[in-house]
Amino acid sequence: MEKYFDVAVIGGGAVGCAIARELCRYELAVVLLEKESDVGRGASGRNSAVVHAGFNNPPGSLAARLCVEGCAGFAAACRELAVPYRRSGKLVVALAPEDQPVLERLLAQGQANGVPELALWTPRQARAREPRLDSRGALWSGATGLTNPLLYTIALAENALANGAEIWLNFPVDAVARAGEGFILRAGERSLRAAWIVNAAGLYADRVAALAGDSAYRVYPCRGEYLVLDKQAAALLSTPVYPAPRPGVGGLGVHLTPTVDGNILIGPSAEYIDSRADTGTTAAVMTRLWEEAMRLLPALAQSRVIAAYAGLRSKIIPAGEQNFADFIVEHSRAVPGLINLVGVESPGLTASLPLARRVIRLLDEKMRLKAKPDFQPERKREGEFRFLPPKRRRAAAAADPAAREIVCRCETVTRREILTALNNPLGARALNAVKARSRAMTGRCQGGYCQRRVVAIMMEEYGIRSEDISLNGPESWLFTGAMK
Amino acid sequence: MAFYRGNEMSEEKILRPDLAIIGGGPAGLAAAAAARSAGAERVLVLEREPLAGGILNQCVHDGFGLVRFGENLTGPEYAARFLQAALAAGVEIRPQTMALELTAQKQLWILGPRGYVRVEAGAVILATGCRERTRGAIQIPGSRPAGVFTAGAAQYYLNRQNLMIGRRVLILGSGDIGLIMARRLTLEGARVLAVVEKMPYAGGLTRNISQCLEDYDIPLYLNHTVTKIEGRQRVESVTVVRLDEAGRAVSGAERVYDCDTVILSVGLIPENELALQAGVELSPVTGGAMVGDDLQTNIPGLFACGNALHVHDLVDYVSAEGETAARNAVTFIRAENRAAARPLIPVRPAAGLRYVMPFFVRPGARPLISLRVKEPLGRRRIVVKAGGRILAERKFPRLAPAKMERLTLREPVPLAATLLEVMIYDS
Amino acid sequence: MIVEKEIQCVICPAGCELRLFCDATAAVLHRLEGAACAKGREFAERELTDPRRTLTSTVKVRGGRFPLVSVRSAAPLPKHILPAAVAMLGAIWTEAPVAAGQIILADIMGAGIALVATEAVERKKNDEIPEKRIVRVTGFLYNSNQRRET
């Protein structure tokens, strides 16, 4: 007999994890189903890491409302979840005379959406904030912030877990059958029963809905590529800088984001593609990203690229059509018991908790939810060694032998932090899971020095066989086994 | 590989050695022993691995020490000689200890089995070696599957951790470690499909082309590069394309290799995390410090040597450079040199030279000049001049970028010199 | 008839390009060009009749601080036996401690040449055995509750 849950959330992205976590506030048996070996492996970990203020979406749209709401509560959520957050503000810059009206339109749109702290800045004001920036003026948004979207997603999942939810990784739902009032969900040989399904499958939301019998949606993957710059470049920029958006661009345009971790991101491009799996980068786009970044900040010329990646937006409008389609959050018209979230692209990260609350309202309409008195919204996390002042570093090292060894040189990550990452409550034990949690392997050597040390820890201390060590799960093996 | 050594922690807050050497590889160990023989009392070597010796410990192949010892040693054998010499000379080596911060006043913070400790040394030598250029640095497009390794990382997995990294391998870049790995992987049962080099000449030494590739019938494709890596989870294929004379991909000249592993041997960069923190002026060409003939950086009392200064071809020269840095550091500690401004005479390389080490010379000095050419050249004469005066001259039957050439000045830099020129002439 | 042959000298990093002029069987060297030193001639002659290379590899160690010890052949081996020799090494175990220079194998495949360790490997000390953690890893298939019992 399959295990029973009141709600099965499909998709372990920021939105799915936020839904699972918020559902834990109520007396419900909740399971989160994720097809990959860890949460946050899709678009949630492949974006600009920006907490948007909400001036990019049309007034009255769900996206605009939830974005403004999400932005207002993001700092508090990050405090609660022990996730890095910085209220960086943001500049949308005019580079040509025709950009000025665009800024004015964005300002008006933002004001209509209720976005606080918006102002049109003169070139001089913009330069006072970012001395290396050469613009014809800018829209300043004081409420925009930055986070680490992967850690945010992981934190939501861990908090859901701590509050009683289950998280099933490596569970790609491949069949959904009706069973009485509810459903049986299958992934290969494994299955479970759930009364409700919340479809937060992002790029695969249309397919998951179709598995359950609702063929109302179609998702179009739209790829965005990024370049990651070495930390040396961080001194050049402290505020995210966007170009004034041009019509017909399926995104916000190539922008520069100084991350909470000290790198600068360049991107994303916007390119509709056929495959939902192709997160590959391309030579042409890499070149173009670099050119566009140079246009925004010529001072970047001397900086070095350390990595490139791509993410896929889940668009619900095909290429060549209008630029905006609103988030869809609704009860399925075809399948009772199914709630669909479709077309949740940017600003989905910012809006993740408001989206979750909206799902809860939809559920509450159908069954009265009962609050769980012992819900614990806070997540504890040890501070990173690299951010400790000398005195506390000394104390940390004195107290713990595993804090006396640096495993990752570029990002100053201790053995203790690797152990903590490996010991994560989700049980994600691939190298990328360690990378997301500890920042080991993300620096300028990209794991050249530390990957083997992480591998050694996995083998020595966790008894993981060499054949089972992987980047993302079993198919992404690192070793065929012992050499001799 | 790391080991706990119990919970031993002594109260240690500050160390005050005469000389602190960061890195216990071939440069650092040679520097340490040389510093002791030059009269430094307390010499401290900080080594992040459990065993000193640096990258040599994973270089189980031979070919080391021919210049220095007239013997053909393996990496571990070469390292052991210097380790023993350093220990015999009374050097303190701290393994599993990493230097985390270095200030412009050359204060150091280190972390190791004895905790987080401050080090205030009379002088500091950076002997931190180099690191490998990565896929990100050369921006190979495509997906990001498992199975892409830098050559050095692959070498470590095989030679130290007994882990086999794949079955069908393509190697991008013809640097020496990549060539050595082509042979090693072949002998260990993998199939090395090809070595692909974007330049019209090999990046590694010709002997390694011969004994690592030709001996095993591994093809080397010059003027070729990888334009795409594919595979969702593990590498599945790699697209290789021929390049024209301008370095552009020739359309229609693509070839797709089915393979599960890509090894990158696309260059080494001096490891200069600490130098950057301290505000050391770095050369955009070498990636290392802009030093004078005494190997001192712009920060007084902070020296650099070995691959942390510029990437060498032979370890024998790395050790020699470490010794030079040590002798100058000891002179500095003795305060004989403290008042002297940094050497002021710039060294100007001719157009065909990639770089010349050092970047500056002091009047009256008789430094060793190291250099590399930009591209392969036939018979040439290299001349070091100050004003009209020839200070050194040497003929070379041929010059290759993979090879570092060296000249010693036959007379000191004239006191009145304002520029040292290093010229190349057809001979 | 004189046959011309070009090879690389691999004796030292100079990597001289040697031009060999030999007899028709390519066994007798008549004339050599391109060698910068006397070792080049020695190498060229041997390369014609009995090409040899030093074998360097690793051998597994039991109870050592490291899983492998690096090894070399005491003298160059006939080139053609290298692949078989390396394959054969895969079956060998040695016991820690291993001393640098220790003979691991007296005779590599009947060539009359020993295999020697090129580094020392200490025995693993007890206090160096890392603390084992209680973690059950069963591949990567998680089909039950992932919560760790604390």
Position C131 scores a pLDDT of: 46
Q: Specify if A484 maps to a domain.
A: no
What rounded mean pLDDT belongs to chain A? 95
Please report, as a single letter, which amino acid is at residue A383. Answer: G
- Cβ neighbour number for residue B418 with a 10 Å cutoff: 11
Q: Specify if A362 maps to a domain.
A: yes
At B409, list the tokens. 């000045």
Same domain, B388 and B370: yes
pLDDT at C94 over 50: yes
| CATH classification of the domain holding A141 | 3.30.9.10
Same domain, B126 and B272: yes
pLDDT at B195 over 60: yes
Contact of C148 with chain A, judged by CB distance below 8 Å, is answered with yes
Same domain, B31 and B149: no
pLDDT at A368 over 80: yes
Helices (H), A167-230: 205-211
Q: Specify if A481 maps to a domain.
A: no
Instruction: Report residue B343's pLDDT band, with 50, 70 and 90 as the boundaries.
Output: low
Position A297 scores a pLDDT of: 95
Mean pLDDT, residues B216-245: 97
Question: Domain ends where: A363, A381, A399?
Answer: A381
Same domain, A266 and A224: yes
How, if at all, do strands A481-482 and B14-15 pair?
unpaired
| CATH classification of the domain holding B412 | 2.60.40
Position B338 scores a pLDDT of: 55
ipTM here: 0.94
Same domain, B1 and B120: yes
At B184, list the tokens. 């090693």
Active site residue A52: yes
Cβ A470–C140 below 8 Å, yes or no?
Answer: yes
Mean pLDDT, residues B76-93: 98
Spatial contact of A334 and A213, defined as CB atoms under 8 Å apart: yes
Mean pLDDT, residues B269-287: 95
Q: Tell me the shortest Cα–Cα distance from C94 to chain A, in angstroms.
A: 13
Q: Specify if A482 maps to a domain.
A: no
Position B427 scores a pLDDT of: 79
pLDDT at B339 over 70: no
Same domain, A81 and A99: no
Same domain, A157 and A288: no
At B154, list the tokens. 């692959």
Residues of B within 8 A of A482 (CB-CB) are: 162-164
Same domain, A102 and A250: yes
pLDDT at B240 over 70: yes
Same domain, B260 and B180: yes
Cβ C142–A464 below 8 Å, yes or no?
Answer: no
- How many separate domains does chain A show? 3
**Where in chain C are the domains?**
3-49, 56-124
Same domain, B186 and B240: yes
Write phi, then psi, for B218 (nearest 5 degrees).
-95, 120
Q: State the DSSP string of C83-118.
A: HHHHHHHTT-EEES-B-TT-EEESSSTTSS--EEES
Contact of B70 with chain C, judged by CB distance below 8 Å, is answered with no
Burial class (CB in 10 A: 0-12, 13-18, 19+), B6: exposed
pLDDT, tens digit, 9 for 90 and up, residues A104-158:
999 999 999 999 999 999 999 999 999 999 899 999 999 999 999 999 999 999 9
Question: Domain ends where: A265, A283, A315?
Answer: A315
Same domain, A90 and A141: yes
- Cβ neighbour number for residue B104 with a 10 Å cutoff: 12
Q: Specify if A282 maps to a domain.
A: yes
Contact of C8 with chain B, judged by CB distance below 8 Å, is answered with yes
- Cβ neighbour number for residue A89 with a 10 Å cutoff: 18
Mean pLDDT, residues C129-137: 43
| CATH classification of the domain holding B158 | 3.50.50.60
Cβ C17–B206 below 8 Å, yes or no?
Answer: yes
- How many separate domains does chain B show? 3
Contact of C141 with chain A, judged by CB distance below 8 Å, is answered with yes
Same domain, B38 and B115: yes
How, if at all, do strands B14-15 and B19-22 pair?
unpaired
Position C128 scores a pLDDT of: 53
Residues of C within 8 A of A427 (CB-CB) are: 142, 146, 148
Q: Specify if A483 maps to a domain.
A: no
Cβ A167–C146 below 8 Å, yes or no?
Answer: yes
pLDDT at A250 over 80: no
* CATH 3.40.50.300 fits domain C56-124: no
Q: Specify if A140 maps to a domain.
A: yes
Contact of A484 with chain C, judged by CB distance below 8 Å, is answered with yes
Expressed as residue numbers, the domain containing B170 is: 134-266
Residues of C within 8 A of B72 (CB-CB) are: 54
Same domain, A308 and A451: no
Burial class (CB in 10 A: 0-12, 13-18, 19+), B257: middle
- Cβ neighbour number for residue A380 with a 10 Å cutoff: 9
Same domain, A393 and A432: yes
At A136, list the tokens. 């014809």
Position C150 scores a pLDDT of: 28
pLDDT at C12 over 90: no
Distance, in Å, from the CA atom of A57 to the CA atom of A69, rounded to the nearest integer, reads 13
pLDDT at C146 over 90: no
Same domain, A298 and A224: yes
Of A162-171, A315-324, B325-334, least confident by mean pLDDT is A315-324
Same domain, A181 and A98: no
Same domain, A358 and A447: no
Instruction: Report residue B43's pLDDT band, with 50, 70 and 90 as the boundaries.
Output: very high
Expressed as residue numbers, the domain containing A390 is: 386-476
The C93-95 sheet, strands edge to edge: C93-95, C56-62, C68-73, C115-117, C103-105
Question: Domain ends where: A292, A315, A338?
Answer: A315
Nearest to A92 by CA among A52, A43, A47, A63: A52
Spatial contact of B53 and B80, defined as CB atoms under 8 Å apart: yes
- Of B2, B60, B207, nearest to C8 by CB-CB distance is B207
Residues of A within 8 A of B131 (CB-CB) are: 445, 448-449
Q: Specify if A411 maps to a domain.
A: yes
Contact of B7 with chain C, judged by CB distance below 8 Å, is answered with no
Same domain, A128 and A229: yes
B335 Cβ partners below 8 Å, 6+ apart? none
